[in-house]
Amino acid sequence: MEKLYAVTENGVTTFIYESDVHDDIKVLAEEKLALIGWSIVEDTPRPADTETETYDLKVGFIDGRYVKTWIKRLKTNEEITRDEVEKQIDALNQLLGTSEDIGTDTLRGLKGVLNADINANPAKYIKALADIVIELIKAERRTSRITVRKFESVL
């Protein structure tokens, strides 16, 4: 997880992620950072989201240190829709498989099967292909329904 820094200037604290911090600052020890008004925000693990809840980052000042805290809230309809679409995309990617797959579980796996194997038992491979195509169509149909629901809620 990326480090978060707190910078206090003229009584105003700003939070900056490590990727936006100059390299000269990153190499300083914590004691030296404090001398120039910087401190590292203490990291706390982010709780896992559920289907309906998520967590927003809030930085608190506890016992003289900045600490990441997580505030639980309900997901918005947009976040729930995004999660549903991402699940469907993952399902489609799983059915496609990778270039290393060989077998009857994915489309790329079927493509990797040797012609001699297919010729020896074509029915097995035709059935596997049909099963994968059916699953792809079902996943695409679910994704389309989610998209339609989202458009309907916007109109």
Alpha carbons within 13 A on the beta-carbon side of 18: 10
Checking if the pLDDT of 132 tops 80, the result is yes
Where residue 122 falls among pLDDT bands split at 50, 70, 90? confident
Query: pTM of the prediction?
Result: 0.59
- Residue listed under structure tokens 């990797």: 112
Q: What's the rounded Cα separation, in Å, for the pair 14 and 12?
A: 7
Give me the count of residues in the chain. Answer: 155
Give residue 37's region: left, alpha or beta (phi > 0; psi -120 to 50): left
* Domain spans, the chain: 4-74, 77-154
**How does pLDDT run across 16-54, given as a tens digit for each residue?**
787 777 677 767 667 777 777 788 889 899 999 999 999
Which of 10-14, 96-100, 112-116, 143-147 shows the lowest per-residue confidence on average (mean pLDDT)?
112-116
* Other beta carbons within 10 Å of 97: 19
